[in-house]
Each structure stands twice: as structure tokens, then as C-alpha cells.
């Protein structure tokens, strides 16, 4: 980086990056997992899966919430020479770093269907939903403060995740027009040309 600038990735984009893969892996695993009768039967499997979906989503939303809020309050202004990473690059880095975990999670959810049908897949879908909800919560924080939150890329580790992990000593902030992602990490909608 020129003149001491740092590469920065959007916190909400890092959080949101795993939502879609977990959701779709979970939905597919739950669909396939409904085929075997399992040890418990489908009805109990679906009820257990619904409970796991809610617990997984709530656990992800509430995990490290205080840490995110503290980091957001202490966010320093991004420097002139800091480089803002594109949303697509951040998402790609997260998904490449976690691809084996996603495959292992999907395989585990399918395997568990022979004991408790559907439940493993719904748990994965719940984790994905929790990530979407956490990114939306971060988006509300960003809108309230009129500041987008960024984390140094080198603090995300080799898997491209954990934007509130131990290695993260602080966040940087920019105005809401910076970068190519809206508050909450979604793709920024471009105005249609008239």
C-alpha cells in the first residue's frame, strides 16, 4: 500500500458472505434429508430441525454483538491512502477460505438425516439466516452513525473471516457513499438512467 495505507474490507460484507452458501446448503440438505425415514421419523426430525433453525439463527445474531458494538463506537476515520476492497473480492475470499467447512457441514447434515431427518439441513439454514440478520443489524448501526465500518484485510486471517476476532484491534469508518456495498453489506443499487 502506498504511503502507509491499508487494505480495508467491509465488516458487514464479511459477515454476510457466508449467509447464502449456508442457507442454500442447508435447504438442499434438508430437502434430501427428508427422503430417509431416519431413527426418529420425519415428524420429529422436522420439529427438531425447526428448533435448531431458531436456535442457530438466534445464536449467530447474538454472538459477539457487544464486541461489534464496541468496535463500531471506537471506529477511526479511514486514511487518505487506505484502499477499499470491492464487495465481490471480500465475498470471494471468505467463500474460498471456508469452502471445506461448507462441504463438511453439508456432508454432516446429509449424514445426520439417517438419524434425524431434515434437522441438520435446517440447522445450517438457520446459521445462514443468522448471518443475514447480523449483517442487517450492522447495517442499522451504520445508518444510525452515517458511517460504513471497515476492517483491515490483514486482520481477517487466512480464511478471510472473523471481523470482530481477537486480531482486530479497531475498525475504520468512511462516509456512506464509499465502496460498492450499501449499509448492511448488500450490493449497492445503482440508479436507473432515464
| DSSP output for 61-87 | HHTTHHHHHHHHHTPEEPPTT-EEPPH
Closest by alpha carbon to 143, among 171, 175, 170, 172? Answer: 175
Give the up-direction half-sphere exposure of residue 38: CA atoms within 13 A in the CB hemisphere: 25
What is the H or E stretch that residue 149 is in? strand 148-152
pTM: 0.89
Instruction: State the cell numbers at 167.
Output: 486480531
pLDDT truncated to tens, each residue of the chain (194 aa)?
Answer: 445 578 999 999 999 999 999 999 999 999 998 888 888 888 999 999 999 999 999 999 999 999 999 999 999 998 888 899 999 999 999 999 999 999 999 999 999 989 999 999 999 999 999 999 999 999 999 999 999 999 999 999 888 888 988 889 999 999 988 888 888 888 877 643 33
Residue 179: φ, ψ to 5°? 75, -175
Amino acid at each position: 500500500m502506498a504511503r502507509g495505507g491499508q487494505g480495508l474490507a467491509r465488516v458487514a460484507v464479511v459477515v454476510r458472505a457466508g449467509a447464502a452458501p449456508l442457507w442454500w446448503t442447508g435447504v438442499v440438505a434438508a430437502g434430501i434429508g427428508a427422503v430417509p425415514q431416519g431413527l426418529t421419523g420425519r415428524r420429529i426430525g422436522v420439529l427438531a430441525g425447526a428448533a435448531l433453525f431458531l436456535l442457530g439463527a438466534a445464536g449467530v445474531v447474538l454472538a459477539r454483538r457487544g464486541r461489534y458494538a464496541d468496535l463500531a463506537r471506537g471506529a477511526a476515520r479511514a486514511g487518505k491512502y487506505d484502499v477499499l476492497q470491492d464487495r465481490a473480492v471480500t465475498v470471494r475470499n471468505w467463500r474460498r477460505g471456508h469452502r471445506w467447512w461448507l462441504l463438511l457441514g453439508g456432508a454432516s447434515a446429509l449424514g445426520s438425516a439417517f438419524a434425524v431427518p431434515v434437522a441438520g439441513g435446517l440447522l445450517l439454514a438457520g446459521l445462514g439466516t443468522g448471518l443475514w440478520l447480523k449483517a442487517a443489524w450492522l447495517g442499522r448501526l451504520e445508518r444510525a452513525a452515517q458511517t460504513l465500518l471497515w476492517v483491515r484485510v490483514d486482520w481477517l486471517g487466512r480464511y478471510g473471516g472473523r471481523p470482530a476476532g481477537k486480531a482486530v484491534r479497531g475498525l475504520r469508518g468512511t462516509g456512506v457513499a464509499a465502496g460498492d456495498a450499501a449499509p448492511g453489506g448488500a450490493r449497492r443499487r445503482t440508479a436507473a438512467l432515464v
